[in-house]
Amino acid sequence: MNKLRILSLVTVVASMALVGCSEGSQQSQTSDSSQSSDSVQSPSENLTNQQNLSAEQVKSVASKLLSSDQSVQVIGNEQMQPQLKAAKDATAPSGIKPEKCADLNAKYSVTDLTGTVAATATSSSEQMGKVVQIFSVTDAATKKNISNALAFDDLADCDKVTIEQDGEKLTAQRQILPMNVKAEQALTMSTILDAGGGQKLSSIAVQAMDGNNFVLVTLQTGSMQPAELATEAVELTDQAFDEIKSVQ
């Protein structure tokens, strides 16, 4: 199985994260540096009485987190919104076995993040791919759905699944890790993908919410162990919340 096929299947596995967002954000090449509209939806009265970040602030936080990396790409709210809309309307991934695990994933997934102000920073190298996404939640229902997903603490015998797509197959071994994150709610999940032939890829996704701010950090590599990868992902997540506090 070639590298492109592995990455294609990795995208399917990534869509199995409890809180879903657009993987397409890693592919956009459009700059929004000329963006003049930083409009933010009016927060629902049911949201916590905390200041929401503007599009400019969200993008600033995302930009700082990977500023020391090479080949960094930052996408602001204007470009993120069409991708979030596409993620909301996308069909659920197919080819997941056992079938009950696909049903479980659908139950706990949050695919609608359109009620947010969002930005994404990505970097990639031979050693690791990084995606950092910052969301300022402006909709009470969206915040509740995220909170419910982050409370998920049992894979219910779905720690190992197989994914088949276009005749290719890989195995995903998942585990919820007990990591300490500086946020009101957090969930860290490790995934080891086995595509056969000795080809394995480790992925860590840290999802955390504090106040009206939601942070999603995903790291992928073929050269680090999950524990080491998780430590770096949590450090990035904590840094994100520190940056958020500095701009509020």
Quote the percentage of the chain above a pLDDT of 90.
Answer: 46
Q: Which domains, from first to last, does the chain contain?
A: 3-21+51-247 (3.40.1000.70)
- Quickly list H helices, the chain: 3-14, 55-65, 77-89, 99-108, 140-150, 226-247
For the stretch 8-40, pLDDT in tens is 444 444 445 667 554 433 333 333 333 333 434
Whole-structure pTM value: 0.83
- Decide if pLDDT at 44 tops 50: no
Q: Does 178 sit behind a cis peptide bond, omega within 30 degrees of 0 on the bond before it?
A: no
**Angle at CA 5, nearest 5°, toward 3 and 10?**
90
- Decide if pLDDT at 71 tops 90: no
Q: Computed over its alpha carbons, how large is the radius of gyration of the chain?
A: 17
For the stretch 158-199, pLDDT in tens is 899 888 767 778 888 889 999 999 999 999 999 888 867 777
